[in-house]
Structure 1
Amino acid sequence: MSELNRHEIISGKRRAGVCLPLWSLLSEDSFESGDIHTLQKMIPWMQETGLTILQILPLNDCGMGSSPYSSISSFAIDPFYISLKLAGIELNSRKKVISTNKINKQRITDWKLEFLGSHFDSDYTQNKIHASEFIRKNDWLTPYLIFKYNYNKNKGEHWSKWENHKVYDPKYLDECITENERDVFFYAWLQMIAYEQLKETKRLFSDNNLFLKGDMPILTSGNSADVWENPHYFRLDLHAGAPPDAFSDIGQNWGFPVLNWEELEKDKYEVWKRRLQYQENFFHLYRIDHVIGMFRLWSIPLDAKNAKYGFFFPQRGVLVEDFQDESLDPEEIRKLGFIGLIDDGRYYFYWDFHHEPGFQELDEETKDKLFRLSFQNLQTDEENWKLKGNLVFDYFDSFTSMMPCAEDLGSVPGFVRDCLNERKMFGIDVIRWTRSFEDGSYIPAKGYRKNAISTLSTHDTSLVMEWWTKELKDGEKAYAHNFFLDSERKPGLHHEKDYLEDPSFILERLVDFAFSTNSQFSIQMMQDLLVCGDKMIFEDFFLHKINTPGTAEHKNWNYRFNFFVEDLISDDALTKKIRHLVEKNNRL
């Protein structure tokens, strides 16, 4: 299948797909958690169901953490995902029955590294030669190997606290090899094995007219090879996050350093080019996490009280001269607690500055001046943000033939929507949130935008049946019942009460609605696709969530299904039900 027309092949027809974290679904050849072989094992099931897109969460090396969105490298694959089976190691899970729906990532990783290490050592000389060649062909490996070696040596401590190698220099690789040759080449060999397994997986998908969709976070942990190697590409004095919204009065501070777009543009986004082209070895499509960040990022100074006191970066800012034109002294206004400093001579207004203590005591003329100043650059900033976003996407399109899909959830400014629409870039429409701006009513299936992916849930939300049974209240629930269910009755259920309370019918109807939308793609979380039989999730929905934003990392990112891929393949009733829904909605 030609890479040159990949975009047209993928987006030329209506498609259905499934999304899951790779670790969550085992094959009978897996060791304790899902791995790259799981992807290959899913091909027959996808062919039978008619699903043609398999979306997975990021696979990047998370080091000693567990969130796939907080990696120590934007290139390296986490060895956790390597298939022992495909690596030639005949060892699988100790138990043939999956007894718990949680995994211990670190423990599984340690076990797998022990087995992989023994395999590597069994033919050390030859494996070292192969690893050396892989290093030579992949320039990102040199900084990663130095970082990985020192990261492990310092037990995950931030690189700024290391005794040695605090500043990147490629010559450090020789020093690390001299100190511990075996471990350095082992890390490189692991990346080679992961590369080979994933590249072969993409080939198998392509040969079967199926597509793999990866996930590309735009932010990287501050304790990563990326930041350590190229600190000038980041604003280390700022943390990325989100402004106050319906979910948080004070906003969110994610702790990631902010991208320095000016420095990235100077180098024509070369680091992104290398990253995208490496990812293209593995995926046909890629999800751009937090696409709004390509235009602007909510940025929080390190000394800010909380995320509410951040600002959108980049921005023109209000200059000293602007304040002086209004006969105001910016430093005096800053001391009053209404504005912050971007850099010398440039200021920003705090979110809801007019609610800060002391504002109402100001005279009306001063209040009016501050309001005018706070809005004076909005149009200019939005024009510049749109230009910047378009420029970044122009570069991305020139770097790769993978099809981009934007994660455009939340409060998305009009200029971002306009840009995505003009570029015909696919966004995401979550059914429960896709409503009229005018009256809050649900959007009919035919009213969905074509260039989008419709979905019932995401890895950050509750399952759709938890939303249905627990989160919808009173009149809202009655309205949802009327909108999603009353247009169809399930044969054999003669009583309204039975019809409304049958979970299998409700879930099937919701999936049917998602597949019926005008969206070119409709990709559902695996949990939401289990529409019948013993795999369907009837209760304790919260136990089956992937992530609850704002909660501790160790409480998330550890979900595991209690069945194997092979069980999906042998479940004729579920397979036929999904295929019927796919076919009915013209997504084959």
Structure 2
Amino acid sequence: MAAAKGAEDVDISTLSLEDPEVSVRFSVKFDSTFGQRVILSGPAERLGNYDPSKAVALDYEHPSRWCQTVKFRLPLALAAPAGDCAAAATDFAEDGNGTVLEYKFAIVDDRDGGSTTWELGAARTLALAPGAAAESPTLPIAPLVVAQAEFRSASDLPRDVFCSSAFTDVVFRREPADRVSAAVRSARDASAVAAAMVAGHGAMAVRFVVFAPRVVAGDTVCVAGDHAALGGGTVAAAVPLDDTELPYWTGTVALPPGTTDFAYHFVIRRPASGGGGDVERVVSEAPYSRRFSLLEGDVAAVRGVGGGHTAIVSPPSDLSFVYPRPWKGSGVAVPVFSLRSPSGCGVGEFVDLEAMVDLCVASGWQMLQLLPVNDTTAYGDYRDSYPYSAVSSFALHPQYIHLPSVAQLQGDLAAEYEAEAARLNALPEIDYVDVMAVKMRFLCRLYASEKEEVLQSRAFLDWFGANQGWAVPYALFRFLAHINGSCEFDGWGARAAMTPAEMEALAAPDTFHFDHIGLALFTQFHLHRQLQAASAYASRHSVVFKGDLPIGVNRYCADTWQHPELFRLRMQAGAPPDFFSTAGQNWLFPTYDWTAMAADGYGWWRTRLGHMATYFHAYRIDHILGFFRIWEIPHSFLTGMAGRFRPVHGIPKAELEALGLWDMDRYTRPYVREGFLYDAFGGRGGEVKDRFFVHLFHDRLGFRPEFDTERKLAAALRPEEAGADGAFIKDVRKELVKLLNNVVLLADVEEEGVYHPRFGLERTSSFAELPSEEWKGALRRLYHDYFFVRQEALWRSSGLAKLPVIQAASKMMVCGEDLGMIPACVPDVLDETSIMGLRVQRMPEGDIEFGTPAKYPYATVCTTSSHDTSTLRAWWEEQDHSAKARYWSGIMRRSDAPPPTATGALVRAVVEDHLVSPSMWTVLPLQDWLGMDEALRRPVATEEQINDPGDPHHIWRFRLHLSVRALLEKKALTAQWAGMSTKAGRGPPY
């Protein structure tokens, strides 16, 4: 092997604590083959700054073991009272608590020109001073550190998930006051090092680090071994580790000279119930299942430490406690707006979430999943009820504010509010427009009476200081939309675009219109306090708040107004034709300009997720496939049929011609024959032909220029204005839109001479009536290649460019809605980026009818239904008898006849089947939990569905038919729910 680049021979015997240097012997296990070598690099000059050509090369010392010793110069301040630390600045990162070395290993393969493959997972950290950062094995200063490791060739998604705030701050939270402090931990480490020094030449201090996230308060992780220093096999004498750096447990043990090999394992113990200092084992790994061993080079290095010092050896810090079974949790999904409370005002409010947390605790659920809660007030009508069309990715929706918590209502104002709240609460569904009118009316009055005190308070000023980057543009957007009568900022004249300085001046407190700005800020401040209080309440009760990250934003919103350069405003995001909609979906959101977003490291996304983490411990990425490729629809279309994926490798005209496909006019022009119109409209076919078409040749027709786009047709055909002929006009519009999309190829709207296969082209009459079987065969092969082969590498790189940044932007647990037409690269990318997938039984992966919960992967969230589907009860009643029979026998493994209706017993059986699945989380809509109680659930199953994605004009107004407090009183039901989760092994830590 070649000499190590950057390595230095170290005369360890000459080192002293007065000489601020430390030698680190890196030892990594990797089963290499001839032609492979291992390198080490990191963001330090000594380690090559992650440049493989400047990295440290490791030597092959032993089968499967690569080693190298590197000398680092510590900051002088760590070893002497004063000194110039500049020399060490390139070697270490100062984290405020200590000196941390960051690094990763990589494999260089000389067989293919020196390609470099970095190990998976986060960068490793080695802390070489007391008080180190989290997840770092903390090592007191020593002249030699032996850092053992195993090359990470596979991702460790469960580890990353358990490192998220959902677990560290909620499910397995330990109060800071009950944890070992950094000072105590450092003193213990120093004591162990001192004991090793006293033991004599060749002794060492072994630093154990184990990842053990599932430890309840009061329990302690210990290391036990067959060596006397590790208890000699007695659990009571095992060495307790410190929980300073949760979810990692650390501890240093002095071992006498001559120790080179011993067996050990980890155990979790707690004080015995009888007291008296006794302990009991709670859960243990297999006894002596781990092995500590030193190579000859390690032994020589340890023995080489002289001058009254000792070496510190750190076994692999990737070690994870081996539990007897994987942890699993359960939860409930419910939109905030659907909650019902006697103290509310016609809609669910943030303060109602505390009662939902209580319901979770009583029902044995560890997660409360919500829909988006951002402000969507763009148009001032029922369109604003759509929670996925935000006018700000940061601002919260005013409908969720609890007015009595803003300020105490007095006298006539209180009576007026109570009357309005009682009226709105009596409605079976949400009247969105009425609720918003009432809440804004009272907010204006509360603002007038409270603004002086609130806007000058320290709490408000602190909030404003942390949020003004988005809050000022948002407040101005609301104000300008109000005075212009529209949120469509294209028509705001000089205010259509503003610089930050102009925004600051326009929002100044001394302007005559400031109360419009102040009201928006006042409202957001109180919404923040109410949601934050609910989130803190959930954390204290070990319930994870899971939010929802919409894939898009409203075309006219504060984000697109403030940062137009980040969006493709002439394009629209949507979905191709699918289970939900045969015409596809057009969400009307602009697509993202990912190139512009990448220029500053996706700063908008990082800021957005950092803000979201203020309230949530986990989140669902809506339509995560959009981070790989988005279905992009040109502005002239209203449906999703004429979309194409972006990014995408289009098909050049030369490639088509090489396949014998030369007639671009035939492939791209809407294929309309005169007979189509008479088939569709009978005797009125001639009327439709004369108004909308021109004759081309034979019986072929072409659309008139004034009707040749979907938007033009929509403008010309308004059923609501057609009186008695409205139904016919509606049918005409629907049929003509289908004919506009009756093509087999789409010309790219931005790149001339490039084409895309029309999605589902074989189902069109244009394809069916192609005159050549050769053309049909070529198009079939091209279609398969385009959608399932040629894009995979592009989409993989697209996902990997964005998702690691998204995942690392916060400590929240990340789940992805990976449903629909899933590229083959998606599962691997989600695994590599530690993002959990979603499983919905009626929308399975592959060519099968139903998903089988028993076969779901562990790193998934499984559910019976979602806000975009019918509930479990309604779905069952939609199925014909044969489908029910296949499900009942094939999935539920039952030999009797399936129930014709969704009885409570059937719902319970299906829920239990999901609970016992291997998925880490089973999170079901509240309607499906309620479905097993025939006396409590709604009489009509179809009334339980939240959204109809096939209806672009759907109004989101679903509301629970009983209050959360009323549910809490159903103790037999909540006990039943809790028992079902416990029986399925969901909830218990061990």
- The alignment's TM-score, normalised by the length of structure 2, stands at 0.54
Is 1:127 aligned with 2:454?
A: yes
Partner of 2:864: 456
Matched-pair contact (CA < 8 Å) for 1:317–1:342 = no
Question: Please, which of 757, 770, 794 is the counterpart of residue 384 of structure 1?
Answer: 794
Structure 2 CA distance for aligned equivalents of residues 578 and 133 of structure 1 = 42
Is 1:578 aligned with 2:905?
A: no
Is 1:477 aligned with 2:877?
A: no
Matched length? 576
Paired AA for residue 57 in structure 1: L
Change (3 A) 1:369 1:481: closer
Residue 447 of structure 1, CA deviation: 1.2
Question: Please, which of 467, 477, 492 is the counterpart of residue 162 of structure 1?
Answer: 492
Change (3 A) 1:313 1:330: farther
Question: Please, which of 542, 553, 562 is the counterpart of residue 229 of structure 1?
Answer: 562
Matched-pair contact (CA < 8 Å) for 2:424–2:435 = no
Partner of 1:349: 757
Partner of 1:509: 909
Partner of 1:492: none
Residue 87 of structure 1, CA deviation: 2.2
- Higher alpha-carbon deviation: 479-488 or 272-281: 479-488
**Mapping 1:399-410, distance limit 5 Å:** 399-410=809-820
Matched residue SS, 2:422: coil
* Cα deviation 1:95-123 (Å, max 9, x = unaligned): 39954320112221222222232222223
Aligned-residue CA RMSD (Å): 3.1
Change (3 A) 1:327 1:184: same
Is 1:415 aligned with 2:825?
A: yes
Matched-pair contact (CA < 8 Å) for 1:18–1:525 = yes
Residue 227 of structure 1, CA deviation: 1.3
Matched residue SS, 2:495: coil
Structure 2 CA distance for aligned equivalents of residues 168 and 97 of structure 1 = 40
- Higher alpha-carbon deviation: 513-522 or 244-253: 244-253
Matched-pair contact (CA < 8 Å) for 2:620–2:817 = yes
- Higher alpha-carbon deviation: 505-514 or 401-410: 505-514
Change (3 A) 1:333 1:442: closer
Partner of 2:403: 84
Is 1:264 aligned with 2:588?
A: no
Residue 71 of structure 1, CA deviation: 1.2
Change (3 A) 1:245 1:149: same
- The alignment's TM-score, normalised by the length of structure 1, stands at 0.89
- Higher alpha-carbon deviation: 337-346 or 544-553: 337-346
Partner of 1:447: 855
Matched residue SS, 1:213: strand
Q: Runs of 5+ in structure 1 lacking a partner?
A: 489-495
Partner of 1:41: 355
- Higher alpha-carbon deviation: 415-424 or 279-288: 415-424
Residue 48 of structure 1, CA deviation: 1.4
**Mapping 1:13-412, distance limit 5 Å:** 13-63=327-377, 64=380, 65-89=384-408, 94-95=421-422, 99-130=426-457, 134-138=463-467, 139-170=469-500, 171-175=502-506, 178-304=511-637, 306-319=639-652, 322=655, 336=669, 338-345=745-752, 346-353=754-761, 355=764, 357=766, 361=770, 379-412=789-822
Change (3 A) 1:452 1:7: same
Matched-pair contact (CA < 8 Å) for 2:346–2:431 = no
Matched-pair contact (CA < 8 Å) for 2:344–2:421 = no
Paired AA for residue 62 in structure 1: T
Structure 2 CA distance for aligned equivalents of residues 99 and 486 of structure 1 = 44
Residue 404 of structure 1, CA deviation: 0.7
Structure 2 CA distance for aligned equivalents of residues 48 and 359 of structure 1 = 59
Partner of 1:569: 968
Residue 204 of structure 1, CA deviation: 1.6
Paired AA for residue 881 in structure 2: D
> Higher strand share goes to which structure?
2
Residue 544 of structure 1, CA deviation: 2.1
> Higher helix share goes to which structure?
1
Residue 497 of structure 1, CA deviation: 8.7
- Higher alpha-carbon deviation: 446-455 or 524-533: 524-533
Change (3 A) 1:328 1:515: closer
Matched-pair contact (CA < 8 Å) for 2:349–2:401 = yes
Change (3 A) 1:137 1:393: same
Structure 1 CA distance for aligned equivalents of residues 448 and 543 of structure 2 = 36
- Higher alpha-carbon deviation: 33-42 or 424-433: 424-433
Matched-pair contact (CA < 8 Å) for 2:819–2:843 = no
Structure 2 CA distance for aligned equivalents of residues 179 and 330 of structure 1 = 64
Change (3 A) 1:584 1:216: same
Matched-pair contact (CA < 8 Å) for 1:37–1:85 = no
Matched residue SS, 1:527: helix
Matched-pair contact (CA < 8 Å) for 1:215–1:289 = yes
Paired AA for residue 244 in structure 1: P
Structure 2 CA distance for aligned equivalents of residues 328 and 481 of structure 1 = 48
Structure 2 CA distance for aligned equivalents of residues 347 and 498 of structure 1 = 49
Identity %: 26
Paired AA for residue 822 in structure 2: V
Residue 186 of structure 1, CA deviation: 1.2
Q: Runs of 5+ in structure 2 lacking a partner?
A: 1-133, 135-161, 172-212, 215-326, 670-742
Structure 2 CA distance for aligned equivalents of residues 57 and 371 of structure 1 = 40
Matched-pair contact (CA < 8 Å) for 2:581–2:950 = no
Structure 2 CA distance for aligned equivalents of residues 567 and 484 of structure 1 = 34
Structure 2 CA distance for aligned equivalents of residues 475 and 506 of structure 1 = 17
Paired AA for residue 569 in structure 1: L
* Cα deviation 1:167-226 (Å, max 9, x = unaligned): 133313433552411120110111111112222222221122111000010111101111
Structure 2 CA distance for aligned equivalents of residues 439 and 533 of structure 1 = 31
Residue 486 of structure 1, CA deviation: 6.4
Matched residue SS, 2:360: helix
Structure 2 CA distance for aligned equivalents of residues 373 and 533 of structure 1 = 52
Paired AA for residue 407 in structure 2: G
Question: Please, which of 144, 165, 168 is the counterpart of residue 6 of structure 1?
Answer: 165
Give the greater-gyration-radius structure (CA): 2
Structure 2 CA distance for aligned equivalents of residues 79 and 438 of structure 1 = 44
Partner of 1:549: 949
Residue 89 of structure 1, CA deviation: 3.5
Residue 421 of structure 1, CA deviation: 3.5
Partner of 2:43: none
